[in-house]
Structure 1
Amino acid sequence: MSVARVAQHGAPCWIDVVQPDMSRGREFYGEVFGWTFADPHERSDGIYQIAMLDGRPVAGLAMRSGEPEWRTYLAVDDIDAATSSALASGATISTPVTMQPEGRSAAVVDPFGAHFGLLESSTRREPRMRGLGSWRWATLRTLAPCTVIDWYSAQFGWVERTTPSVTALFLAGQGEGGVDDEPPGAVLPDTHKSLMHAAAWVTTAIEPTHWLPVFRVADRAGSIDRIERLGGTLLSKHDIAGRSEGAVMQDPQGAQFAIARAGA
């Protein structure tokens, strides 16, 4: 398990899932990923519960209004400035800036219909780890990748880099993986070093634009079987950057997520 790092501005820093039936959600995700759960607590937007993996927070379960879905939160230095910029660029604010235990947060719908969150916190940390059941990547699935990438890059300073099989978005100034040494438009190799340090991946999908968290599993076939036995649904299978088997799944309450073999 890696040590949590303070999240840089623009980095995916947290995820949570809306579950109308929290008991059912705990049972499902606990069985699928080996999560345990802290005691639920009241927040301004409903009941909230932290999922734990190896003693560390890994995700949130929320019982609030809205469709069951996973939400990805992006770290920001100034949430007031970030929400104003998003509004001016065609986004809508579905939940205004609110003080939560972890910091000031807001829910945003980008101009393409994807829901995501913003989080301003001096103690924000990246919950992504390397163990089985952990959140590994933030993926943005869209019908219009070029337009979507332009919007997010303008908002968060992301730098686009491509490989033969995937588009990766890196944080501005990020040196890991050698991306700062590559000229704009350069095609990087499909290597672990080039891809794993990306802030997010962008993939083409026939569905409306949406964020999708990717979780580490030991193997695809066994995980799909377990998810289906617990009431989940397989939506599609795919290879990730030509290296690892992955799949898009739906939980019993309708929220979509993805899995990837741990070797990716």
Structure 2
Amino acid sequence: MAFQRSAQTLVTKKKCIPELARKYPWTRPQGDETGISIYNFYTRSKLPLILSTEGNLKWYVCGPTVYAEPHVGHACSFVRFDVIRRILMNVFDINVVFMMNFTNVDDKIIDKAKKVGQTTEQLSSHYESRFLQNMQQLNVLRPTIVHRVSDNVQNVIEFIERLVESGHAYVTGQGSVFFHCDSYEGYGSLSRMKVLPSEKTMFDDQKMKPQDFLLWKPHKVGEPFWDSPWGQGRPGWHIGCSALASKVFGEKIDIHSGGGDLKFPHHENELAQSNCYHHTNQWVNYWINSGACT
């Protein structure tokens, strides 16, 4: 399948898009009223914390892409989340199921592994261990559940297949799969970011629109790969979190958190593909970012 090449490519500029916020407002969940107020980045306001299951809170956090030593940004984020988690558990007696992923299949990991003469598995395992050691030294509680992208590629493939079947993703002749942003009218409602033209990228010839993002990358020599309906390849960066979180929590997450730098494009892309996959407008009830909240 061939697509007309766009002369524009993806860049972002911070811009308020109030019409999206009005068109896709936050919906008050049905469930357990905790009496707690929590800041929700989606609405930019404090809201009552309502749990989908009484006494239990389903919390997903984007873990690190393990290609380098943990840094102060990781420490700040996970210490802050840990404080909130402990308050919910020890003060309000809420059972917090805290899930974290390790992104261990990624361009940065592949490039670093080639540079130092290791396999991607060796490199990612080393930095995964270093991250866990650092968190232990900071007295951060271990996650309830930990998953790795490489252990769940079949779940990723099945997730992408549903998006393709429903018209929210498309396959190119080169074996790439892209999310079709125009198929989801709410794209941008979380970050309120606007897509502007920028420089050319290597995937321009395959994209229908500049904001479309990769779900599956075709195999290149020297890279890890898995078999898929679209040929040998590997997951894109954004799809792992959606597929892994959905595998554990299904169609509803109470809290989703991550560093402030992930608001766009990562969290925006997660929300778009997950809402489409689950046929919902609110896959996550509360978004928490560590860092700036504007």
Q: What TM-score does the superposition give when structure 2 sets the normalisation length? A: 0.26
Higher helix share: 2
Q: Higher strand share goes to which structure?
A: 1
- TM-score for both structures, normalised by structure 1: 0.28
Bigger radius of gyration among the two: 2
